[in-house]
Amino acid sequence: MTARSAPPAPHATPLDLGGRTALVTGAAGGIGRACALRLAAAGAEVRAVDLDAAGLKDLVGSADGLPGTVEPHVLDLTDLDAAERAAAGTDVLVNNAGLQLVRPLEEFPPDVFHTVLTVMLEAPFRLIRGALPHMYGQGWGRIVNVSSVHGLRASAYKSAYVAAKHGLEGLSKTAALEGAPHGVTSNCVNPAYVRTPLVEKQLADQARTHGLPEERVLAEVLLRDSAVKRLIEPEEVAEAVAYLCGPQASFMTGASVVLDGGWTAH
Ligand SMILES: NC(=O)c1ccc[n+]([C@@H]2O[C@H](COP(=O)([O-])OP(=O)(O)OC[C@H]3O[C@@H](n4cnc5c(N)ncnc54)[C@H](O)[C@@H]3O)[C@@H](O)[C@H]2O)c1
Interval between CA 99 and ligand 1 midpoint (Å): 5
Say whether 86 sits in a helix, a strand or coil: helix
The residue among 174, 184, 194 whose CA lies nearest residue 125 is 174
Check pLDDT > 60 for residue 3: no
Interval between CA 154 and ligand 1 midpoint (Å): 18
Closest residue by Cα to atom 1, ligand 1, is 194
Pairing of strands 21-25, 45-50: parallel
Per residue in 86-96, pLDDT (tens digit) is 999 999 999 99
Q: What is the mean pLDDT of residues 89-112?
A: 97
The residue among 148, 153, 144 whose CA lies nearest residue 185 is 144
Closest residue by Cα to atom 2, ligand 1, is 194
The residue among 96, 114, 87 whose CA lies nearest residue 184 is 87
Residues in the chain: 266
- The pLDDT of residue 202 is 80
Cα–Cα distance for residue pair 61/145, rounded to 1 Å: 25
What is the CB-side half-sphere exposure of residue 164 using CA atoms within 13 A?
A: 29
Q: Does residue 261 have its Cβ closer than 6 Å to ligand 1?
A: no
As to burial, measured by CB atoms within 10 angstroms (0-12 exposed, 13-18 middle, 19+ buried), residue 254 is: middle
Q: What is the mean pLDDT of residues 152-167?
A: 97
Which amino acid is it at 218? L
Residue partners of 230: CB distance under 8 A and separation at least 6? 223, 261
**Residue 46, strand partner residues:** 22, 70
Cα–Cα distance for residue pair 231/20, rounded to 1 Å: 31
Nearest atom in ligand 1 to the alpha carbon of residue 30 is: 16
Residue 157 is among the residues annotated as catalytic for this protein: no
Nearest atom in ligand 1 to the alpha carbon of residue 197 is: 20
pLDDT band at 25 (very low <50, low <70, confident <90, very high): very high
pLDDT band at 4 (very low <50, low <70, confident <90, very high): low
Cα–Cα distance for residue pair 93/179, rounded to 1 Å: 13
What share of the chain has pLDDT > 90, as a percent?
83
Q: Which of 194, 202, 223, 263 to mutate to test the pocket of ligand 1 (most atoms within 8 A of CB)?
A: 194
Say whether 88 sits in a helix, a strand or coil: coil
Q: What is the mean pLDDT of residues 212-219?
A: 90
Interval between CA 249 and ligand 1 midpoint (Å): 25
Cα–Cα distance for residue pair 26/155, rounded to 1 Å: 23
Closest residue by Cα to atom 17, ligand 1, is 198
Cα–Cα distance for residue pair 214/200, rounded to 1 Å: 9
DSSP state of 257: E
Q: Does residue 191 have its Cβ closer than 6 Å to ligand 1?
A: yes
Which amino acid is it at 226? S
Check pLDDT > 70 for residue 8: no
Q: Does residue 151 have its Cβ closer than 6 Å to ligand 1?
A: no
Q: Which of 33, 126, 155, 196 to mutate to test the pocket of ligand 1 (most atoms within 8 A of CB)?
A: 196
Q: Which phi and psi (to 5°) does residue 247 adopt?
A: -65, -25
The residue among 19, 16, 55, 64 whose CA lies nearest residue 37 is 64
Q: Which of 198, 202, 205, 228 to mutate to test the pocket of ligand 1 (most atoms within 8 A of CB)?
A: 198
What share of the chain has pLDDT > 70, as a percent?
95
pLDDT band at 254 (very low <50, low <70, confident <90, very high): very high
The residue among 201, 12, 191 whose CA lies nearest residue 101 is 201
Residues 237, 189: contact at Cβ < 8 Å?
Answer: yes
pLDDT band at 205 (very low <50, low <70, confident <90, very high): confident
